[in-house]
Amino acid sequence: MTNRTIDQILSGCTRVWGARDVPPQTIADMRSELHAHLDSAARAGKPVDAVVGTDLNSFAEEWAAIYGGALDQPDPATPSSSESRWIWLTIGTLAVAFAVMAILAPKGDTMNADQWQWIWVGIAVVLGIGELLTAGFFLLPFAVGAAAAAILAFLGVNLGLQLVTFVVISVLFLAVLQRFAKQEQRDGPEPAGAGRFPGRHAFVLEPINRRQGTGSVRMETEQWRATTDGDEEIPIGEEVVIIEVRGTRLVVEPKSSGT
């Protein structure tokens, strides 16, 4: 295990949190919490590396994900700004391209209509193959839209309606797939790591007082800073139940109140 200093650990975590666009004030709070926890471990004679483990990036990602609960977590059903930008850029590009082709296409040409049938089929096939290669649920909606437009072309529907059908079906199908994918993420298994702490028991080493900001507990062989949502101080020696994790603090309550 690499013997890192507290400053090196804090710098590495800050780098990861900044890359994840964590708000500056939140980063400051996280640094403060982590520094206190590392300092406590060092004073107890425990290697600070043992607190964060061998993979510092994974540790930083985990704490960034759980710090502050839902405040730092995007709505799983809402595409990120980068996703939305690429989605609308693609839709806009395709719409403009097909509009130009529609304007430049010869009017009243039977062969041109036949060509559009196979153009749509070709687009659907290419996008379908692209979806198989990328498996990102991004090209598939456009492949479905192209297939729908191809069906209309074979039925003799005019090109304008084909284009409208392509755009509308692609957008609707894309929205459905994005929501389905986000729902799968939301309903998936809980992450490992600090998420396993709630429900476990610990013993109070330092009186836990929410108003004074004091408190620490021992969970198995590890010492953690702790807090509580209750107004009553939890005395030394009390057995407590871990409710959740906030930053590097365990939120606990007396075992008697949790039973």
pLDDT tens readout for residues 99-140: 555 555 555 544 466 788 888 888 888 878 877 876 666 778
Question: Is 226:212 a contact under the CB 8 Å cutoff?
Answer: no
Rg (CA), the chain: 28
pLDDT band for position 55 (cuts 50, 70, 90): confident
Closest CA to 216 of 200, 232, 235: 235
Q: What is the pLDDT of residue 223?
A: 81
**Shared-domain flag, residues 39 and 99:** no
Range in 51-60, 196-205, 232-241 with the lowest mean pLDDT: 51-60
Co-location of 141 and 112 in the same domain: yes
Q: Find, among 110, 112, 147, the residue nearest to 131 by Cα.
A: 147
Q: Where are the alpha helices (DSSP H) in 67-158?
A: 81-104, 110-134, 140-154
Does residue 69 sit in the same domain as residue 85?
Answer: no
- Let me know whether 54 and 116 are in one domain: no
pLDDT at 112: 63
Average pLDDT over every residue of 161-185: 78
Same-domain check for residues 212 and 125: no
Asked whether residue 204 falls in the same domain as residue 117, the answer is no
Q: Same domain for 101 and 172?
A: yes
- Per-residue pLDDT tens for 2-33? 568 888 888 988 888 888 878 888 888 788 87
| Shared-domain flag, residues 8 and 63 | yes
131 and 211 together in one domain: no
Domain count, the chain: 3
Say if 192 falls within a structural domain: no
**Domain finish residue from 73, 91, 119:** 73
pLDDT at 202: 92
Question: What are the tokens at 187?
Answer: 């309903």
Instruction: Find the CATH number of the domain harbouring 224.
Output: 2.40.50.140
Answer whether 22's CB lies under 8 Å from 68's CB.
no
Q: Is 64 a member of any domain?
A: yes
Picking from 165, 187, 209, the residue at the C-terminal end of a domain is 187
Residue range of the domain that includes 59: 1-73
Same domain, 170 and 212: no
Range of lowest pLDDT (40-49, 223-232, 239-248): 40-49
The phi and psi torsions of 74 (rounded to 5 degrees) equal -70, 155
CA distance 150 to 123: 9
Q: Please count the residues of the chain.
A: 259
- Residues 206-224 have a mean pLDDT of 85
Residue carrying structure tokens 């993420």: 185
One domain, residues 32 and 99: no
| pLDDT more than 90, % of the chain | 10
More confident residue, 68 or 119: 119
